[in-house]
Amino acid sequence: MIDVAARMHRLGTEGAFEVLAKAQALAATGKSIVNLCIGQPDFPPPSHVIEAAEKAWRDGHHGYTPAPGILPLREAVAGDLHRRFNVQVDPGDITVTPGSKVALFFALQILGEPGTEIIHPNPAYPGYESLISYSGATPIPIPLIEERGFSFEADDILTRIGPRTRAIILNSPANPTGGVIDRGELDKLVAGLADFPHVVVISDEIYGRIIYDGKAHHTLLSYESIRDRLILLDGWSKGFAMTGWRLGYAVWPKVLVEHANRLAINCHSCVANAVQYGGIAALEGPMDEVNAMNAAFEQRRHVIVDRLNSLPGISCVNPAGAFYAFPNIKHTGFNAAVLQRQLLEQEGVAGLAGTSFGVWGEGYLRFSYAASIEQIEEAMARVGRFLDRNA
């Protein structure tokens, strides 16, 4: 019998990938499946991004690059952050990674160890709890509840900070709820953090470009008082429809960047060379295709929320950002896991149980509306049929 390291038993998984595999297996048997389970835009990346990467391949960009990423890409990231948020970022503080989840992994490997605590939202992107546990640190959840718009009050976090707290993770706009953290609570949180100078803030802003109702994304980078202990995570997956390119980055405090770059050298050497050129084109090129994609998401949000609210036993708040609806199913008589399974098996609708995102997700499902309006309408009709049959 082969032994594996004990920490492997602390590593979780992502429900989305499991449900996707099951949905694909059912589709292969001929069942009609409507897939609202996976968090990726159903659009191609902007055409100039594909052209830039193609040109880079043809121009001979096949070798390793510096581990933190090519300088022009890191400069493009700094330029983008300056244009969007009027903040100064040193390209030397940026590490480009194969997706932002690798930067998250690095952050938690750098900070987490047995005897320490890391505060994270719940329900949330499953990687947070899984990778905190894997690091040996103890995950401390902050419940995100519907009554507070799936956000939190600053005191919910500040009262959980103790001498063992190494970091807090924030995610706005959020997966799976679409919630956006209230700006006033962020101001209070940052002010309160002055009393806890040992605590690092990890801000996952991967959905920062997908925000509705004409609102602007508010980045944690704009708080000067925590810049020396802020790790910003972002990437191209969601905002530029580039999930499979595997391109993300982190902005590190000066004292941490060297650790991150050493992890990069040890783990992946660099992100695929030509992909990095695509990343520059995305940030510096025209935004019309990105804007059109976001307009489509906003329209679909309206359709899915409207349809969900017309279903018996279901209610759904309007998500403020990202591309997920997180309907409350508490009055359907089903728990989240059972409803997820039965909807897939009986109606071919692939959604995700809220519990895939933590215990506080019980009573909710997540539907990604990165799908066509026809698919959304069809999925909602099938959910309605299922609920009528089981009323």
Task: Closer to ligand PLP by CB, 39 or 285: give it.
Answer: 39
> Residue 173, preceding bond cis, omega within 30 degrees?
yes
Count of residues that bind ligand PLP according to CB under 6 A? 13
Indicate the residue among 101 and 166 with the shorter CB distance to ligand PLP: 101
* Least distance CB 130 / ligand PLP (angstroms): 12
Strand pairing report for 248-251 and 94-97: antiparallel
- Which of 68, 99, 121, 279 forms a contact with ligand PLP (CB under 6 A)? 99
Contact status: 204 vs ligand PLP (CB under 6 A): yes
Where would I find the H helices in the chain? Answer: 15-28, 47-58, 71-85, 100-111, 127-135, 154-158, 183-192, 254-267, 273-284, 288-309, 336-347, 373-389
Which of 99/279 has CB closer to ligand PLP? 99
Q: What b-and-e string marks burial along 38-77, b requiring 16 or more CB atoms within 10 Å of the CB?
A: bbebbeebbeebeebbeebeeeebeeebebbbbeebbbbb
Which residues inside 291-330 make contact with ligand PLP, applying CB under 6 A? none
What count of Cα atoms within 13 Å lies in the side-chain half-sphere of residue 343? 32
Q: Assess 101 for contact with ligand PLP (CB under 6 A).
A: yes
**Distance, CA of 5 to CA of 371 (rounded, Å):** 40
Stretch that binds ligand PLP, among 96-104, 142-150, 195-203, 293-301 (CB under 6 A): 96-104
Give every CB contact of residue 83 below 8 A, 6+ residues apart in sequence. Answer: none
Q: How far is the CB of 290 from ligand PLP (least distance, A)?
A: 16
Closer to ligand PLP by Cβ: residue 107 or 305: 107
Binding mask 152-181 for ligand PLP (x = CB under 6 A): -------------------x---x------
Pick from 123, 235, 279, 361: which binds ligand PLP (CB under 6 A)? 235
Cβ(232)–Cβ(221) under 8 Å?
A: yes
Q: Is 356 in the site for ligand PLP (CB under 6 A)?
A: no
Q: Which stretch binds ligand PLP (CB under 6 A): 97-105, 178-186, 304-312, 335-343?
A: 97-105
Label residues 251-284 b or e (16+ Cβ within 10 Å = b).
bbbeebbebbbebbeeeeebbbbbbbbbbbbbbe
Looking at residues 13 to 72 of the shown chain, list those that interact with ligand PLP (rule: CB under 6 A). 39
Whole-angstrom distance, CA of residue 389 vs CA of residue 391? 6
- State the first-to-last Cα distance of the chain, in angstroms, to the nearest integer: 50
Does residue 261 interact with ligand PLP by CB under 6 A? no
Q: Which is nearer to ligand PLP, 223 or 236 (CB)?
A: 236
Interacting residue with ligand PLP among 151, 237, 276, 294 (CB under 6 A): 237
The least distance separating ligand PLP from the CB of residue 333, rounded to whole angstroms, comes to 29
* Of residues 66-95, those binding ligand PLP (CB under 6 A): none
Using CB positions, name the residue nearest to ligand PLP. Answer: 99
Per the CB < 8 A criterion, the answer to whether 241 and 44 are in contact is yes
Token output for 44: 């191609």
Q: Tell me whether residue 247 or residue 274 sits nearer to ligand PLP (CB atom).
A: 247
Query: Which residues of the chain form contacts with ligand PLP (CB under 6 A)?
Result: 39, 99-101, 125, 171, 175, 204, 206, 235, 237, 243, 248
